[in-house]
Chain A
Amino acid sequence: MIGWTTWDPWRELDALRREVERVFEDYRIGAPRTRAGFLPGLMARAYPLLNMSEDKDNVYVEALAPGLNPDTIEVSVLHDTLRIAGEKTPITAEIKPESFHRNERGAGRFVRTMTLPTEVDGDKVKAEYKNGLLLLTLPKHEKAKPKQIAVQVA
């Protein structure tokens, strides 16, 4: 019989899981962060990084994606799921690997999907790519807009 004082691998694993979760708490989407958004590890995990905001009629998503080929950017919306795909263009193909002094900027294809807080009207989504920032304006679906309900006094 296993008592509390004996070694229980499941309990150990659970403690480890909680510890790991605590460490990565700051990395969760939506967690308050004051840190700069250019950590290579983060970029490998989710690219592009997104900022999301809303007002009464729209949801706005801004993606940090410098140096994209504008022709490759694909944005699609299904109900409340947003998908952004594209390709960051390599500088030029003819640069030999040995002529690099530094190579910090990545390049290549990416896809990112994210769930929006409300259902949006996919037909009226506007996307603008300016100075390396992709700004999406996603009008909220009529069903998702809040309705004012008049309170009657009996």
Chain B
Amino acid sequence: MKESTVPQKADKQVPETREETRTRTLTPLVDIFETSEGLAVVADLPGVEKDGVSVGVENSVLTIKGAPKSAQPGDVLAREYELRPFFRQFELSDAVDQEKIRAEMKYGVLTIHLPKLKEQQPKKIAVTVAS
């Protein structure tokens, strides 16, 4: 799986470029691993509600966006982090069945399941022993 976080402008294939420079974005940390049905992408999006996350696929580019919200009141004493919009893109391989992508959100962690097309999934072949 190839990452295309900063797509080139000249490339017409890329559906969406980085958002404007004024709102700088954070790159969420991700885990990507193989599952029995295909691939799974797990991303940390702290402070993002279910409604604030958007996962899209266009021209085989998976785009993860999230708008975090913090409800911390009062005057600031110390700041170790800053919540900004999350943004990260990955290029999908042709093996991924784009119709069957599904995502879920729990405790600020986004999980995206990317099943592979049926013909791309590994098949078990029974081995018969010739006597």
Q: Which residues of A contact B (CB under 8 A)?
A: 29-30, 32-38, 46, 49-55, 58-60, 62, 64-68, 70, 91, 95, 99-105, 117, 129-133, 135
Contact = CB atoms under 8 A, between A and B. Distances in A.
A67 B43 CA distance: 10
Interface of B: 1, 24, 26-35, 39-40, 42, 44-49, 68-82, 84, 106-109
A66 B72 contact: no
Given A34-B82, A37-B81, A101-B1, A132 B109 contact: yes
Given A54-B74, A62-B70, 17 more contacts: A33-B82, A34-B82, A36-B24, A37-B81, A37-B82, A50-B80, A51-B78, A91-B42, A95-B33, A101-B33, A101-B34, A103-B31, A104-B30, A105-B44, A130-B71, A132-B107, A133-B46
A51 B72 contact: yes
A102 B108 CA distance: 19
Contacts of B47: 64, 131-133
A36 B76 contact: no
B72 A29 contact: no
A68 B107 contact: yes
A53 B77 contact: yes
Given A60-B73, A60-B74, A101-B33, A132 B44 contact: yes
16 contacts: A33-B79, A35-B82, A36-B82, A38-B28, A50-B78, A50-B80, A51-B70, A60-B72, A62-B72, A66-B45, A67-B106, A103-B33, A105-B31, A105-B44, A131-B108, A132-B107
A18 B32 CA distance: 42
B76 A53 contact: yes
A35 B24 CA distance: 10
A15 B33 CA distance: 47
Contacts of B108: 66-67, 131-133
A85 B62 CA distance: 35
A88 B29 CA distance: 14
A29 B78 CA distance: 7
Nearest to B25: A36
B99 to A, nearest CB: 22
Contacts of A105: 29-31, 42, 44
A52 B72 CA distance: 9
Closest 3 CB pairs of A and B: A132-B108, A37-B81, A66-B108
Contacts of B33: 91, 95, 99-103
B80 A37 contact: yes
A132 B45 contact: yes
A38 B80 contact: no
A129 B72 contact: no
Contact of A66 (B31, B80, B107): B107
